[in-house]
Amino acid sequence: MSRKKIIALTALGVAVATWLHFRRTIPKNAVPVKPFDLEKYLGTWYEIARFDYYFENKLNNTSAHYALNANGTVRVVNRGYNYKTAQWKEAVGIARFVDDTTEAKLKVSFFGPLYAGYNVIALDADYKYALVAGRNLNYLWLLSREKTMPAAIKEDYLQQARQLGYDTSKLVWVEHNT
C-alpha cells in the first residue's frame, strides 16, 4: 500500500473516531427531561456547583444566559469572574436540540462545528432548579435561577448524579459574591 493511501486511511480513521467520540451527547443511563419547555428554560441560570474544566477554572460568580435566536437555535452566554486575575470572562455559543424539541437533550458549541452534550436530567416544575449532564461523567452542573439552592433539592440532585455514576465529591461549589 502506498504511503499516500496509508496517510489518507489514517486521517479517515481519526475523523471517524472523532465523529463517534463527539456524537455521544448523554451519559449512559441518563434520561433527559421530557416534556421540556424551552421558553420556560430561557433566561439566566446561576451555577451552584460544577465539575471544573478549562474554561471555568478559577471562576466564581458563574452564570449562563439562554436566549432564542430567530432560526430556532439558542444563544448561550457563559460568564464568570476569575478570582485570580480579577477579570470577567465570557464565552458565547449556540445550542440546538439533538432530536425532539420537547426533550431536554441539546448540544452546544462554543468552537465552530464541534458540539458537546447539554442534557437537563432533572428539573423542578417551576423551572427554578436544574441538574445538567454533559456527554459523559466528566461534566455536571447544578443550576438555579437564584444564587442559592435549597438543601433538599441539592441533596436530591446529588443523589441522582451519584446513581448515574458521577463522583460528586469532585464538584466545585461556586461562590456568588457580586
Domains of the chain: 26-173 (2.40.128.20)
128 Cβ neighbours under 8 A, 6+ residues apart? 144, 145, 146
Report pTM: 0.86
pLDDT digits (tens, 9 = 90+) for 72-109: 999 999 999 999 999 999 999 999 999 999 999 999 99
More confident residue, 17 or 40: 40
Residue 84: how many other CB atoms lie within 10 Å: 8
Which of 4-13, 135-144, 147-156 shows the lowest per-residue confidence on average (mean pLDDT)? 4-13
Q: How far apart are the first and last CA of the chain?
A: 63
Residue 35 has pLDDT above 70, yes or no: yes
pLDDT band, very low/low/confident/very high, at 19 (cuts 50, 70, 90): very low
